Amino acid sequence: MVAAASVVVAVGTATGMLTAFGDDDGGADEARPNVSRSPRLQSLPLVPSPSPSAKPSVSASPSASATKTSPAPSPKPTKKSEKTEPRTTAASTRLYRHPRSQVLDWVRAHPGDPRQDVIESRIADHPAAVWFADFTPANITSRVRAVTSGGAAAGRVPVVVPYAIPDRDCGGHSVGGAPDLDAYDDWIDRFAAGLGSGDVVVVLEPDSVAQAECLPAGERADRFASLARAGRVMKEANPNARVYFDAGHSGWHAPAKQAGWLKQAGAASAASSDGIFSNVSNFHTTADEIAYDRAVLDALGGPASLGAVIDTSRNGNGAPPDGEWCDPAGRKIGRTPTLSTGMGRIDAYLWVKLPGESDGCKGAPGTFTPSYAYDLAR
């Protein structure tokens, strides 16, 4: 069964993070890119990974939005890998902070709260991803456009997260998504039509690859075909879009196994992918994720331009030793979001899950919990 999944919980019209507010007219959006359904991608030989940085996960029940993280620590990156020349990127190094989010709403509504200054300066003031977790084809284009045009007007780069793949989260807390893959493909067409023409980072469907073992083989292959199509549609709609595919995290699957699935999902093709993302809604250290992501990229093959982005929103103290995934105590915020990491093949550190939004233990899943935010921030 599924093991060591990322902690991703959905609430309302967005999954954690920033809620995407846009046009509420409910009208149909304009024409989308016309890209046909992708055939299944055949599994190709993998480039052997010289030093796997993660151990295979331990079987566990997929009864929650994410199952426990592996307690086994991952090796630290070697000195040689840390000296790799940084990969250059055409995107601006400035990330966009969307003006609406649960944490910003709380800060504005509680000016007298003694925790407000810490939460505002250390969490709310930083840019974070905007999630689109509800299946609303009628207005998804305008809602995505509201975010991307806001970023363009500010001269900054937005990070958007489409999160509507069918059988999302394998029946956990974040159950939902499109009713089937044909509907999902249409939703992606509409999503892509809102990406505009400026720089934008797309974190494509957290857990959709790493958690795919819950699906029968045929359904898994169909999902991977739709993901490959999704990346291609987005990059055709906006050549400046940078699309990253789900690599799980360093405490989950071995790099070669994850890379095999990623290859089937189109992540090795420059036509659909700019690389991989890891650690979304999880706690593994940045050093562990760098080593793991490089091992996955080595096994994945593909063009040298492929890189990785890492969610550093809650990994300042690393993963808890007992493998707890649900709002574990003793965690803290990690590195500030940036598109300039100075690390070879590591394109960005991002806050994909906004610190303070609960996994479901300190508050309702996906809702902002000030006590949890304060503990992380201080």
**CA nearest to 185, candidates 221, 225, 212:** 225
Choosing from 134, 189, 207, 327, the catalytic residue is 207
Question: Which residue has tokens 């409910």?
Answer: 26
Contact 284, 321 (CB under 8 A): no
Contacts (Cβ under 8 Å, ≥6 apart) of 275: 244, 245, 267, 297, 306, 307, 308, 309, 345, 347
Task: Enter the tokens of residue 41.
Answer: 């991608």
Q: Among this protein's residues, is 207 annotated catalytic?
A: yes
Choosing from 169, 185, 311, 327, the catalytic residue is 169
Q: What is the DSSP letter of 295?
A: H
What is the three-class DSSP state of 218? Answer: helix
**CA nearest to 202, candidates 283, 137, 98, 276:** 276
Question: Which residue has tokens 């091992």?
Answer: 295
Contact 372, 327 (CB under 8 A): yes
Contact 278, 267 (CB under 8 A): no
Q: Among this protein's residues, is 246 annotated catalytic?
A: no
Q: Distance between CA 83 and CA 342 in Å, rounded?
A: 9
Q: Among this protein's residues, is 274 annotated catalytic?
A: no
What is the three-class DSSP state of 227? Answer: helix
Q: Distance between CA 319 and CA 306 in Å, rounded?
A: 27
Choosing from 189, 293, 359, 375, the catalytic residue is 359
Catalytic residue IDs? 169, 207, 359
